[in-house]
Amino acid sequence: MKTAINFDSDSEILSPGSAISPIDGRYHQRTKELSACFSEKALMKFRLMIEVEYLIVLSSIAGVVRPLTVREHSFLRGFYKEFSDVTFLRIKNIEKETNHDVNAVQRYFMETLKSSFLGRLSGFVHLGLTSEDINNLAFALMLRAGTDVLINRYELVARVIKDSLVKPYQLTPLLARTHGQPASPTTVAWEMNVFVARLEEAIADLKNFSLSVKFGGATGGHNALNAAYPKVNWRNFSRKFIKHLNGFDQVKQPLMQFRYNQYTTQIEPHDTYAKLFDIIKRANTILIDYTRDMWLYISLEVFAQKTVEKEDGSSAMPNKVNPIDFENAEGNLGIANALFNFFAAELPVSRLQRHLTDSTIIRNFGPAYAHTLVGLKSVSKGLSKVSVNTKHIQQELEAHWNVLAEAYQTILRRAGVNDGYDLLKAITRGQEVSKENLHDFIDRLAIEKNLSASLVIELKALTPHNYIGDRSIDV
């Protein structure tokens, strides 16, 4: 029987039942895939990965570290590829002594390397670097992995909307509402596709996004490395190293790219963090807008909700079937956006060459991504429970012939009836209008204005069901 390792001897092992945050508690099953991206263990692994890859690329510089063989590369990469709970515990124990998490990773690597056949390389670990060189690249790897998870989920939501509510309902008319009041008809597919198109644009921006990173030592100028190895162009080396990081771990698709920012202080200014989070925030805002519309459509009975036999909708009202998944999505996406707003506002600001406020803020990237993921999964779950209530949609259209006023007044003005707008306003604004009312109006107007028979036929052919304009969609 395996025994769980207690990473902190002063506390109980974390479980969903004892977690403070709902991310690791109530929503653990929905967010656990992000653990490999944003957990403390993941952060330590990514830091170790940067230290190892730096040493490997450093070996390609003549006169610094001797060239390493493919076998030696493989051995070094084993440090992070075989990163285990035991490794993590060892690093955390070192951190208790150093009170510095990056130094703990560095010391673990040096100590372990020293006892191996590559022991002579231990003195080159972290050579000429500052902790932020390692940290900003580790968090870049975390963001790349986490953003990939979100992109896949955004794409899934867009695909589900398109497959279930766009493609099958391109010819299903729907009463539109502007200011909450009946307006010129649209289609179910059109209204759903508005959100798909918006979301796909945000997804494209995420896929094309590149994150700025730094690798320039304690204050950005490679001071220590230039002093020790003045013949090496360390800016070019940093460009080479960042290019290396853009390719070495990509196994399934091109992910977020990193670009070297050569003009930094001790930290990268984080302007591209703000850009990234603004894109995610926009995608989330689109879906908040969508969940609110779905909530309203369900309230208006445009969509019906499927019931689950053993579920309860209320502790008091047995009849209730509530749109809880869309409400859950709205709440979680809103929490995520509040965090992303804070990140985007705070992280680009740093006092002089460095202060440490950003360190604790950056550690909260995971919760923002996790709340986003919960929201996306809730949107998908909500979509699985709805169906289009075509009968109600048809009844609603039939009850609102007044929405043809726009078409009538426009066609009449085309025919030379200059006061067409005012004529329609007089018989439709704030009044119940039936098919018979409109057709009687046209018959009277035909006599008064000497309208042609073809114009009368054209007007009478219009109904709330076919007055939908051009709603063609490329699917």
DSSP per-residue letters across 412-463: HHHTT-TTHHHHHHHHHTTS---HHHHHHHHHHHHHHHT--HHHHHHHHT--
pLDDT of amino acid 249: 59
Sites in the chain below the pLDDT cut of 50? 1-5, 7-11, 314-315, 317
Q: Give residue 433's identity as a one-letter amino acid code.
A: V
Q: Give the helix ranges, DSSP H, for 186-270.
A: 188-207, 223-228, 234-245
Examine domains 30-126 and 400-460 and report if their fold is the same.
Answer: no
CATH of 400-460, one of 3.40.50.2300, 1.10.40.30, 3.30.50.10, 1.10.10.10: 1.10.40.30
Q: Which CATH class is domain 133-389?
A: mainly alpha
Angle CA(48)–CA(218)–CA(45) in degrees, nearest 5?
10
pLDDT of amino acid 366: 85
pLDDT one-digit tens code per residue, 433-470: 999 999 999 999 999 999 999 999 999 999 999 999 99
Q: 275 and 259 in contact (C-beta within 8 Å)?
A: no
- Measured in degrees and rounded to the nearest 5, phi and psi for residue 81 equal -70, -25
- Is 179 considered catalytic here? yes
pLDDT of amino acid 404: 96
pLDDT of amino acid 315: 46
pLDDT of amino acid 1: 39
Average pLDDT, the chain: 89
- Is 74 considered catalytic here? no
pLDDT of amino acid 312: 56
pLDDT of amino acid 363: 83
b/e per residue, 147-172, with b = 16+ CB within 10 A? Answer: bbbbbebbeebbebbbebbbeebeeb
* Tokens, residue 358: 């950003």
SS3 174: strand
pLDDT one-digit tens code per residue, 52-70: 999 999 999 888 999 999 9
- Which residue of the set 314, 384, 387, 472 is catalytic? 314
Interhelix angle 365-383/131-161, nearest 10 degrees: 10
Q: Determine the CATH number of domain 30-126.
A: 1.10.275.10
Domain residue spans of the chain: 30-126, 133-389, 400-460
Mark residue 92 as left, alpha or beta (left: phi above 0; alpha: psi -120 to 50; beta: remaining).
alpha
- Which residue of the set 115, 179, 315, 454 is catalytic? 179
pLDDT of amino acid 455: 96
pLDDT of amino acid 63: 87
pLDDT of amino acid 359: 73
Nearest to 473 by CA among 219, 51, 165: 165
> Which residues lie across from 173 on neighbouring strands?
187
d(Cα 204, Cα 26) in Å, to the nearest integer? 32
- Measured in degrees and rounded to the nearest 5, phi and psi for residue 178 equal -115, 135
